[in-house]
Chain A
Amino acid sequence: MNGVAAARSSAERRAGRGFALRWSRLAIYALLFLFTIFYLLPVYVVVADSFKTLREVNTTSIWQPPAGLDFGAWASALTPPLVGSGGIGPGLVNSVIMTVPAVVISSIWGSINGYLLSKWRFRGADLVFAFLLFGMFIPYQAILIPLVQFLEKLHLYGTLAGLALTHIIYGIPITTLIFRNYYSAIPTELVEAANVDGAGVIGAYLRVILPLSVPGFVVVGIWQFTNIWNEFLFGVTLTNDPSVQPVTVSLQNLAGSFAALYNVQMAGAIITAIPTLLAFIFLGRYFIRGLLAGSLKG
């Protein structure tokens, strides 16, 4: 039986006031549409304005639709016509170079940690888990200054490798957390059976756990990709040269070099957002699962 529908119809019958109910449904949809406008208005602004020409920027408000689809602002945002006024093109490349290995490595690392902490529960495993988790709850400002010094000593300051390393290390808590919760739903007997067959810690991971891990990797991968791609604080403090800055920092600089040109800034904002938006649109289910897994335990 469809319990939800049955419950609703019985409630409607008992209430015996279909008319009032219909009005309240109307009010619900009206409210939802109002909020939809609130959420989509900035999206409209950013899309519409990115297609405006220089002349339209001077003559129209940000709310008016563009006269046509002009990609001039997109081109300017990527590679500005003026030498020395940086566009986000290099930042885009840097972000890809930095994000992809960081996501891959931190996902694999988190998977191994989560597997060990949930399937090889030694004495003090919970303590180790708490020890690793703590890094998730600190404001990164608290470690920023020694981090700068540390990376300088290793000659990694101002390099994409240094930035990637930073994201990998501070990704340990969340990737470990999500994988640990994910693996706790897999029966430990599977690992034990593999051990009986002679597989050790590593063998059981490769033969039993890893093949079952694909959804976990998708969730963690999207989470890490979104966070690392969108990150700004490390990007702006650990790099000092536009040639190694991630795209979020380039976008912020764009606002400085194109102060009055909102079409270029909006185009830059869209370009910056496209990769994570694509992940959200095509893998939304996993995106939401990661969102909840990172905050709700278990």
Chain B
Amino acid sequence: MRGRLLTILLLGPAILASLVFVYLFIVWTFYASLTGWNSIRPLNGILPDFPLVGLANYQALFATQRFWPNDIFNTAVFTVTFIVLSVAIGLLLAILLDQHIRGETLFRNVFLLPMALSFVVTGTIWAWIFNPNTGINQLLDPLGINAVRDWLLSLAPLKPLWDVLDFLRIDLLRPGLTTDSRSALGAVVVAAAWQMSGFVMAMFLAGLRGISEELREAARVDGASERQIYLHVLIPQLRPVLVSVVVILGYISLKIFDLVFVMTRGGPGTATDFPSIYLFVSAFQSQLWGQAAAIAIVMLVLSAIVVIPYMWSQLRTETQA
């Protein structure tokens, strides 16, 4: 074919930029994570000119309570609860909007509106809503929610449940909300789900609309109820969408930074600290670059576990198609 040389030449800048800014930078970060570059002294050359220390940065990191288990624990709890909550809300909304709703466009736009906002804006607003002195408590106390809350928390049979939620830091019945380490993570999860569940709805709605009407009609002819059609016909068809949604939400939550930084700064204590915040503090406040690089590599590995199998299967189905 004519123009092959020109094609590759025109793609050159993008290939070169990716090679340097993505691939070489990752290698660079990995190399830095193996050096003792934990001081304010700037670099002389292109690579960190500090002695190699092997895995010392990683060992130190995993010997630090703040990182292990705390940050990894928070990441796991946040990722799972954020995905479950967003998928539950998003799927429910998609199914509701799929019922030939009057004003569907309006509802859809309301649910999608947070997607247009920055996590910084979301964090600013929700920090006030979950502020125990000015926020949701003030709204709900006049309704007697406080009494209900105390009563629920005092119920003996439910105590194990509250203990588990306390342990997971998502017990939003605690009146301290963002200032109580037993509930602060839950507050961040709600804000994140507020922002992202509309996106999940859009994905599922697009998926539902992509299923042929014949399939539904066939199930109806077979005498299936609307509920059965969703449970046994439509929702199983949404599996590929679900996989995409989980991977995208997982990718977002494993690197979550701005929302938490604005809402809680990782506090109280380290109750909502995440690797991204620890990295930010290590590098840009404490000048512990080697340690920050080690955190970055751990974050990269966590993301890779979620993303690489997905990307692999996507690219494979695409080349087969």
Q: Which residues of A contact B (CB under 8 A)?
A: 3-5, 7-8, 10-11, 14-15, 25, 28-29, 31-32, 35-36, 38-43, 45-46, 49, 61-63, 109, 112-113, 116-117, 120, 122, 126, 128, 130-135, 137-147, 149-150, 152-153, 169-170, 172-173, 176, 195, 200-202, 226, 229-233, 236-237, 248, 251-252, 255, 262, 265-266, 268-269, 272-273, 276-277, 279-280, 284, 287-288, 291-292, 295-298
13 extra A-B contacts, CB within 8 A, seeds A29-B101, A130-B315, A268-B124: A4-B100, A31-B96, A42-B129, A146-B24, A146-B32, A147-B25, A201-B6, A232-B118, A248-B118, A276-B117, A277-B113, A280-B113, A291-B112
Q: Is there a chain A Cβ closer than 8 Å to B158's Cβ?
A: no
Is A265 a contact partner of B128 (Cβ separation < 8 A)? yes
> How long is the Cα–Cα vector from A122 to B10 in the complex, in angstroms?
13
> How long is the Cα–Cα vector from A129 to B122 in the complex, in angstroms?
34
Is A62 a contact partner of B1 (Cβ separation < 8 A)? no
Residues on A with C-beta less than 8 A from B233 are none
Residues on B with C-beta less than 8 A from A172 are 14, 17-18
Is B262 a contact partner of A252 (Cβ separation < 8 A)? yes
10 tightest A-B CB contacts, nearest first: A230-B118, A139-B255, A280-B116, A232-B258, A143-B25, A146-B28, A142-B300, A201-B3, A135-B22, A61-B138
With both beta carbons as reference points, the residue of chain B lying nearest to A227 in the complex is identified as B118
Q: How far is the CB of B290 from chain A (nearest CB, A)?
A: 10
- A sample of 27 inter-chain contacts (CB < 8 A) reads A3-B217, A7-B220, A8-B100, A11-B220, A11-B226, A25-B99, A62-B135, A63-B138, A138-B303, A139-B255, A141-B255, A142-B26, A144-B283, A145-B28, A147-B21, A230-B120, A230-B121, A232-B258, A233-B258, A233-B276, A248-B258, A251-B118, A255-B124, A266-B128, A268-B124, A269-B124, A280-B116
Residues on B with C-beta less than 8 A from A28 are 96, 99, 101
The answer to whether A141 and B295 touch (CB under 8 A), given A3-B213, A35-B89, A265-B124, is yes
Q: Which residues of B contact A (CB under 8 A)?
A: 1-4, 6-8, 10-11, 13-15, 17-18, 21-26, 28-29, 32, 42-43, 46, 89, 92-93, 96-97, 99-101, 107, 109-122, 124-129, 134-135, 138-139, 194, 198-199, 202-203, 206, 213, 216-217, 220, 225-226, 241, 244-245, 248, 251, 254-255, 257-258, 261-262, 275-276, 279-280, 283-284, 289, 292-293, 295-297, 299-300, 303, 307-308, 311, 314-315, 318-319, 321
Residues on B with C-beta less than 8 A from A62 are 128-129, 134-135, 138
Is B22 a contact partner of A143 (Cβ separation < 8 A)? yes
The answer to whether A46 and B118 touch (CB under 8 A), given A7-B213, A237-B280, is no
Is B120 a contact partner of A142 (Cβ separation < 8 A)? no
Residues on A with C-beta less than 8 A from B10 are 112, 116, 201-202
Is A145 a contact partner of B293 (Cβ separation < 8 A)? yes
Is A269 a contact partner of B121 (Cβ separation < 8 A)? yes
Q: How far is the CB of A163 from chain B (nearest CB, A)?
A: 14
> How long is the Cα–Cα vector from A149 to B124 in the complex, in angstroms?
31
Residues on A with C-beta less than 8 A from B279 are 141, 144
Secondary structure at the B interface, as helix, strand, loop or mixed, is helix
Is B29 a contact partner of A273 (Cβ separation < 8 A)? no
The answer to whether A142 and B124 touch (CB under 8 A), given A36-B110, A45-B129, is no
Secondary structure at the A interface, as helix, strand, loop or mixed, is helix
Q: How far is the CB of B20 from chain A (nearest CB, A)?
A: 8
Residues on A with C-beta less than 8 A from B13 are 109
> How long is the Cα–Cα vector from A144 to B261 in the complex, in angstroms?
17
Q: How far is the CB of A229 from chain B (nearest CB, A)?
A: 7
Q: How far is the CB of B286 from chain A (nearest CB, A)?
A: 13
Residues on A with C-beta less than 8 A from B262 are 252, 255
Residues on B with C-beta less than 8 A from A113 are 11, 14
With both beta carbons as reference points, the residue of chain A lying nearest to B275 in the complex is identified as A141
Residues on A with C-beta less than 8 A from B114 are 39, 42
> How long is the Cα–Cα vector from A32 to B100 in the complex, in angstroms?
13
> How long is the Cα–Cα vector from A295 to B21 in the complex, in angstroms?
23
Residues on A with C-beta less than 8 A from B307 are 137
> How long is the Cα–Cα vector from A291 to B314 in the complex, in angstroms?
18
Q: How far is the CB of B76 from chain A (nearest CB, A)?
A: 16
Is B109 a contact partner of A284 (Cβ separation < 8 A)? yes
Q: Which of A117, A200, A233 contacts B257 (CB 8 A)?
A: A233
